[in-house]
Amino acid sequence: MTALRLTHTFNHQGLLGQALTHRSAGSPHNERLEFLGDGIVNLLIAEALFNRWPKADEGAMTRARAELVREGSLAAIARRLDLGAQLTMGPGEMKSGGHRRDSILADALEAVVAAIYLDAGFETCRAVVLPWFEDLLAALPEGKAEKDAKTRLQEWLQARQRPLPLYELVSESGDDHAKMFLARCSLQEPSVAAEGEGTSRRIAEQAAAAAVLEQLAEPKRSHAR
């Protein structure tokens, strides 16, 4: 997955500076912008799902939106924008690796969204921000939001009274702003394993679980009976 760029040129640079200032660095910091950005991101994603999925019901769109705006998804986008390297933080937070923490990165992304909105309005904000989510939107099952792969795999195993899967991180690679994770999902009974890749450990585990489910769905496999 390629790195993203912050394509918006700010008329008021102070907004971007505030959006990238953690409260540990003093005021003005990004918490108020984060509050506004959270609402804007939810609206943008809700609107995108509403327009893309004309036949989807409220429950499907709600589940899809929750997946797209969760902390891990936002932090992965923030890494691709290299926001961590641009954050202003207090010495203690910086020393503890706060610029790599999912919660701080997700908050910073929401603050940046709000800063774009305040700087240039909703239409520009939509045009800049929605492309950041395009890969995630495209990866969703078309027209509906199913339960995630890890949940579906767990339910498949529980229904057959089989042991739960084991997930392990195989490797990490790439720079902080474009890090990739490789995870492995293994079953004891049936003996099945697969690997998956993603921009966070959780996404990689979901991809590995999806690959295992594909194996379980293959016809004429004894474990699928």
Contact between 155 and 67 under an 8 Å Cβ cutoff? The reply is no
Prior bond of 141 cis (ω within 30°)? no
Residues in the chain, total: 225
CA 146 to chain centre: 16
Prior bond of 54 cis (ω within 30°)? no
Coil vs helix vs strand at 225: coil
- Does residue 110 have a known ligand-binding role? yes
Active site residue 38: yes
- Does residue 107 have a known ligand-binding role? yes
Count of beta carbons in the 10 Å neighbourhood of residue 218: 9
Coil vs helix vs strand at 197: strand
Which residue bears the tokens 């926001």? 83
DSSP 8-state code for residue 88? B
141: Cβ–Cβ under 8 A, 6 or more apart, which residues?
Answer: none
Give the Cα separation of 164 and 181 in Å (integer).
Answer: 22
DSSP 8-state code for residue 100? G
| Annotated catalytic residue within 102, 110, 119, 205 | 110
The binding site for Mg(2+) consists of 34, 107, 110
Tell me the catalytic residues: 38, 110
